[in-house]
């Protein structure tokens, strides 16, 4: 019974053995064996390297997230606008506005060669005023609380403007430009306009971040503080700085969210100037939410974006239009996910078997052709038919 089973198993052998007495070894066979072995070694090594490297799987999903915020990181250089008059504003379609943003922003004064003169966080208070004037015009008496005039921009009798910055804010809330700049006592004592004059010819590098709602909106860099009047945005220093603003700029970095491997921010490193530099540079940005998961399982929620650029010369649009650099962003309803992972081990083994089996099969076919070709040539030579 045992011998019968073993006999049946023996009959199933798909690899019948040839007696060693009938083996014939040839030089061509040895060369083909050596070449095929080297090819197998190289391809197995290549497959092993591919197995060790990660692959990134990409998926597209509908973005169902809501109620989130977005962090915008920027680093922009203006070679011809001084820091003293450059402001950052942000607003969105929900009606939320942030004018002359100062937190999380650093301004660097630069000279014509691009060297940094001074670097400090924005929003540093005005210098202390020695013997400030009271609202009624006299000197501040002992134990008397200082309450500076807002020069007609007070919203109530108790409003006080104790610095040039507070006067500008009061004017902006009223929708007024500073046409009476020479009459503002706080600005004269703080040397605000002298500081603007001193910084003429300088440039400014602005870097920092904004935390905004995850809805369509815009942020922009503009000379002076922005105020709103009759659905138009104006510059509160239009009467102070009457010359054309040169808003040529270089975007060193603009990112919507955290960095992740492979992200490309199309505006990074771009330098834009125009024959007529007094105008509105507009960037229309489509933000694509992106989730990146690395091989260790760490997840980064970030964004990619595409951009379209446009320039408007102020001479050919409304004379009240504000010069500046405007970034209009909107969100794609599609979310992209990237996930790093290793190739399947079974897939790796399958590829190895395919490499070994395929090369041995091809090498065997080549060896057969070479061997029989050589035999035929040898026979013809023996009978004198080969010339």
Maximum pairwise Cα distance, the chain: 134
pLDDT of residue 179: 62
pLDDT of residue 232: 44
Of 93, 101, 330, 120, which Cα lies nearest the Cα of 210? 101
Top-confidence residue, 262 or 387: 262
Kindly report the average pLDDT of the chain as a whole number: 78
- 254 pLDDT band, cuts 50/70/90, is very high
The 10s digit of each residue's pLDDT in 22-59 is 566 667 777 888 888 898 899 988 888 888 777 788 89
User: What are the sequence ranges of the domains in the chain?
Assistant: 27-54+342-387, 61-340
- 332 pLDDT band, cuts 50/70/90, is very high
C-alpha pair distances (Å), 353 with each of 196, 344, 357: 76, 14, 6
The 10s digit of each residue's pLDDT in 121-159 is 765 444 444 445 555 455 555 555 677 778 777 877 778
Q: What is the mean pLDDT of residues 53-68?
A: 84
Q: How many CB atoms lie within 10 A of CB 263?
A: 18
pLDDT of residue 239: 45
The 10s digit of each residue's pLDDT in 268-308 is 988 876 555 678 899 999 999 999 998 888 899 999 999 99
- DSSP secondary structure of 304-321: EEEEEEEEEEGGGS-TTP
């Amino acid at each position: 019974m045992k011998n019968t089973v073993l006999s049946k198993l023996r009959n199933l052998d798909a690899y019948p053995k040839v007696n060693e007495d009938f083996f014939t070894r040839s030089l061509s066979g040895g060369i083909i064996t050596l070449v095929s072995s080297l090819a197998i070694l190289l391809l197995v090594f290549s497959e092993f390297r591919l197995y060790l490297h990660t692959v990134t799987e990409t998926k597209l999903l509908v973005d169902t997230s809501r109620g989130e915020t977005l962090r915008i990181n920027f680093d922009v250089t203006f070679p011809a606008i001084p820091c003293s008059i450059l402001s950052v504003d942000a607003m969105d379609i929900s009606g939320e506005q942030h004018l002359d943003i100062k937190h999380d922003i650093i301004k660097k004064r630069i000279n014509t060669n691009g060297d940094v003169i001074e670097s400090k966080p924005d929003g540093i208070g005005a210098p202390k005023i020695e013997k400030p004037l009271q609202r009624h015009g006299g000197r501040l008496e002992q134990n008397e609380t200082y309450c500076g005039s807002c020069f007609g921009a007070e919203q109530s009798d108790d409003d006080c403007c104790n610095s040039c910055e507070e006067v500008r804010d009061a004017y902006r809330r009223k929708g007024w430009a500073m046409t009476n700049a020479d009459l503002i006592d706080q600005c004269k004592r703080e040397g605000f306009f002298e500081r603007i004059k001193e910084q003429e010819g300088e440039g400014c590098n602005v870097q920092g971040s904004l935390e905004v709602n995850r809805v369509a909106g815009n942020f922009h860099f503009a000379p002076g503080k922005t105020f709103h009047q009759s659905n138009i945005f104006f510059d509160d220093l239009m009467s102070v700085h009457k010359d054309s603003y040169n808003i040529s700029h270089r975007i060193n970095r603009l990112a919507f969210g955290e960095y992740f491997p492979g992200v490309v921010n199309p505006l990074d490193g771009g330098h834009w100037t125009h024959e007529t530099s007094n105008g509105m540079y507009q960037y229309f940005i489509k933000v694509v939410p992106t989730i990146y998961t690395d091989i260790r399982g760490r997840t980064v929620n970030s964004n990619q974006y595409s951009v379209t650029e446009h320039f408007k010369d102020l001479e050919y649009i409304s004379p009240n239009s504000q010069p500046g650099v405007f970034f209009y962003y909107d969100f794609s309803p599609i979310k992209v996910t990237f996930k790093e992972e290793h190739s399947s081990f079974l897939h790796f083994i399958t590829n190895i078997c395919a490499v070994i089996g395929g090369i041995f099969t091809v090498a065997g076919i080549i060896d057969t052709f070479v061997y029989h070709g050589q035999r035929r040539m040898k026979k013809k030579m023996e009978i004198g038919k080969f010339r």
